[in-house]
Amino acid sequence: MLAWGAVAPAQAAAPQKPARLGLCAACHGETGMAQIPGAPNLAGQQLDYLREALKQYRDGRRNVPLMRAAIGPMSDADLDELARWYSAQTPAHQGNP
Amino acid sequence: MLAWGAVAPAQAAAPQKPARLGLCAACHGETGMAQIPGAPNLAGQQLDYLREALKQYRDGRRNVPLMRAAIGPMSDADLDELARWYSAQTPAHQGNP
């Protein structure tokens, strides 16, 4: 008997991996855990906060040239997809100094 | 027999609750999980990122009047204590839309 009922609804609702994730992942990781000093973790961050922060990086209110260069060419839909992806990740436990 | 050896080193190393935590906690929670729309989670955030963000809110590079008002009167030592506190918290799992 096929156990089709075993597909977890929570997993079915998780966002698909964004097409533009690679650039972000270099510093923030694919699952939103920072890979380099100075970069924030994004895993599980509030969706509305991520959306607003991305807008601020794109328009220069948060003046971080690297982020502006990375985000500038992206569409609103791209940014929304990335915000949803990172917000949906579960933070990994990590030691902090 | 006294089980003094049962004190976990990890707990012993955790920072003490900062004296100025109350103001922050109104929006970010005592353990760094956001309490209001628009506020970010801070639990487990990278320590260097939190320190830099706090400086930027205080000097206006991140122009958020509420944050500037909250942080302006605080000393560097206060800010460092708060950054350490929130960085040491473990993010709670939460649903995101």
| Residue B14: predicted pLDDT | 79
| Residue B73: predicted pLDDT | 87
Distance from CA of B62 to the nearest CA of A (A): 6
Count of structural domains, chain B: 1
- Chain B residue with minimum CA distance to A51: B38
Asked if the structure places residue A68 within a domain, the reply is yes
Using a pLDDT cut of 70, give the percent of chain B over it: 82
Q: Do B97 and A63 touch (CB under 8 A)?
A: no
| Cβ-Cβ contacts under 8 Å for B40 (sequence gap 6 or more) | A45, A46, A49, A53, B28, B34
- Chain A residue with minimum CA distance to B87: A96
Asked if the structure places residue A25 within a domain, the reply is yes
Let me know the angle formed at the C-alpha of B38 by A71 and A82, rounded to the nearest 5 degrees: 30
User: Which residues in chain A have their CB less than 8 angstroms from residue B47's CB?
Assistant: 96-97
Q: Do B46 and A97 touch (CB under 8 A)?
A: no
Q: Which range of residues forms the domain containing residue A69?
A: 17-88
- pLDDT tens, N- to C-terminus, chain A (97 residues): 444 444 444 444 679 999 999 999 999 999 999 999 999 999 999 999 999 999 999 999 999 999 999 999 899 999 999 999 999 999 997 654 4
Asked if the structure places residue A75 within a domain, the reply is yes
- Give the pLDDT band (50/70/90) at residue B94: low
CATH no. for residue B38?
1.10.760.10
User: Which residues in chain A have their CB less than 8 angstroms from residue B38's CB?
Assistant: 46, 48-49, 52
Q: Report how far Cα A17 is from the mean position of its chain's Cα atoms.
A: 10
A85 closest CA partner among A7, A17, A11, A2? A17
